[in-house]
Chain A
């Protein structure tokens, strides 16, 4: 899907700032950023892409049951998540590895899910309020909306206190827009005027089904239909992703209700390592998006601003170090003890869990004692 006049783009594919009617209101959000902040964007994108490539390799080598590549979507994720304040809450789908790592989730924790060792297990409160992955498509948009309803009820919106006013970002994909839950989330968000941003990463494919099968209208117009101010951005432009998300989060925190951002991006790899994209999409499409790669264009931009070669060398090394680290640690992960099956199914004591935990322990012990 090509960009249109309505698509907000601040950084062109050639790596230069874009001055247009659509971009003017957002450029001040970029102009206030220091060089360090801009370098941080790039560092996240480069290191996370290296992580993503290494994870896909680990899957090919049998160390992971599955991998969900995020290659190509770095700008949408880094830009939007960088716009969040510490008190904001982020509800991901399952491809937001970049944001997970930015939020301080140990990359090995993400990999342990795909290795079959856990279903998540981190505490969002300890990880910049980055919530757990959700595999059922679109479900998390309702959780995000409920959380945002609670912010309204608690009066943590529109107070003018920058450390108190809080918003929520719900991440989802183009396929999810066909799910009833996403529509219901927008109904609730509009009805209760929740402080949240619906952040759609339109990567153009729901496994093998193109976005044209999900919608006959540009997806950002869906938000408008629910009474939610909506905007489409170039999702491979980290500056647009950051600036537009920050502007909309500010509005949400100020009590102006929900917002909807459609980020046009592209997953360069497979949906997961289980599918073969060469069966369902053309090389010409891949080439179109390769020329709009989020990392190369931002590198050009940074070099023009005077970023040194040593900076790029350092972050490449950081990526390699992370890759080596996870490669080493992945094989050292222990399989959880059998008894953990029964842990945490309920918060309060539960007689069935107690009885079955004991029965399994007795069964296992019978092998040790008997022979």
Chain B
């Protein structure tokens, strides 16, 4: 049975389901209790599960992640909320130097089932530090897994899979999609967590993206179709590890790939996709793999975000450039 709900609600329902399944799952973060989080993703959960399962923490990102590590050592499965993307860096050391490496340092006798939820990305006109896409920092760190859902259905299932994972998962939530509604099928089983997915079939150009960008890629595909160009769209879903098979297969079919992301392009997830597609589909490519991304600048003041972020026009332009080879 499918239901229509926003991504925020789907995440809320997914967390509720995960907490109901396992009493060791607990939520921790700033303002996630009575307020329900600044995006209301945890709304009602403290009332339902109590303040020992939903912890309003002191305002300290390193403290949140560091104590989550200790809780995981003690058999809990903490789900941390970092309030905004640009505020994750005070917790960066605990995430990359500690959380990511704990299992390896312990030669596998210790697992780190910690989820770190990060509302990320632009398109909401917010102030500094509230619109960033820091996923590349974490994709670069061995020991972490990175997920980012693009739809309410994926959000509902992927958050549950993240909680069930024995590895630390950085869960990037595209905040501009929180209020977008979509169908959630609670009786399906969801896709394998780390599978990328072709969300629209096409024959001439492949567009690859994740999170909020996926809906933009679908818009581009619609517009391109009106101009007679057949575009295939792949949703990465998992940023680390990346499931390349559908992407490479698509590249072999279309011969042209454009990777799109909100994050800066330099040394990014998109760079990695471009390099890998070039390695694996070299003889099938009709054009170099192109990237459309945020510029390599700090995220700008909100009135300039439409310049900075990939737009339908910039992506269409890249499609044209790919076709021109």
Contacts and interface: CB of A to CB of B under 8 A. Distances in A.
Interface of A: 118-125, 131-132, 134, 136, 139, 141-151, 153-154, 180-181, 184-185, 187-188, 191, 343-348, 350-352
Contact of A187 (B63, B70, B106): B63
B71 A347 contact: no
Nearest to B114: A146
A185 B63 contact: yes
B115 to A, nearest CB: 14
A198 to B, nearest CB: 14
Contacts of A148: 70
Given A146-B67, A146-B70, A347 B57 contact: no
A347 B109 CA distance: 9
Given A144-B70, A147-B71, A150-B71, A121 B106 contact: yes
A143 B73 contact: yes
A348 B168 CA distance: 10
A132 B106 contact: yes
B98 A143 contact: yes
B49 to A, nearest CB: 12
B107 A347 contact: no
A185 B62 CA distance: 9
A346 B142 CA distance: 8
Contacts of A344: 103-104, 106-108
A145 B74 CA distance: 11
Contacts of B109: 123, 125
B10 to A, nearest CB: 24
Given A123-B106, A181-B93, A344-B107, 18 more contacts: A120-B107, A121-B107, A123-B109, A125-B109, A136-B98, A139-B97, A142-B94, A145-B66, A146-B67, A153-B71, A153-B76, A180-B62, A184-B63, A185-B66, A187-B58, A343-B107, A344-B104, A347-B167
Contacts of A181: 62-63, 66, 93-94
B163 interface: no
A346 B167 contact: yes
Nearest to B78: A146
**Across the A-B interface, the 10 shortest Cβ-Cβ residue pairs:** A146-B70, A142-B66, A150-B74, A146-B67, A184-B63, A344-B108, A121-B107, A347-B166, A147-B70, A347-B111
A132 B103 CA distance: 11
A150 B76 contact: yes
A136 B93 contact: yes
A299 to B, nearest CB: 38
Given A153-B26, A181-B66, A188-B63, A147 B73 contact: yes
Nearest to B68: A146
B104 A345 contact: yes
Contacts of A185: 63, 66-67
Contacts of A142: 62-63, 65-67, 69-70, 94
Contacts of B103: 344-347
Contacts of B104: 119, 343-345
B37 interface: no
B166 A348 contact: yes
Interface in B102-123: 103-112
B230 interface: no
A126 to B, nearest CB: 8
B174 interface: no
B63 A149 contact: no
Given A132-B106, A136-B97, A146-B68, A351 B241 contact: yes
B57 A146 contact: no
B52 interface: yes
A144 B74 CA distance: 10
A131 B69 CA distance: 13
17 contacts: A119-B104, A122-B106, A123-B109, A123-B110, A124-B73, A124-B110, A142-B70, A145-B63, A146-B66, A146-B73, A150-B74, A150-B76, A154-B74, A187-B58, A188-B60, A344-B107, A350-B167
B97 A143 contact: no
A181 to B, nearest CB: 6
B215 interface: no
A276 B30 CA distance: 45
A260 B94 CA distance: 23
Best-surrounded residue of A119, A147, A184 (most CB of chain B within 10 A)? A184
Nearest to B108: A344
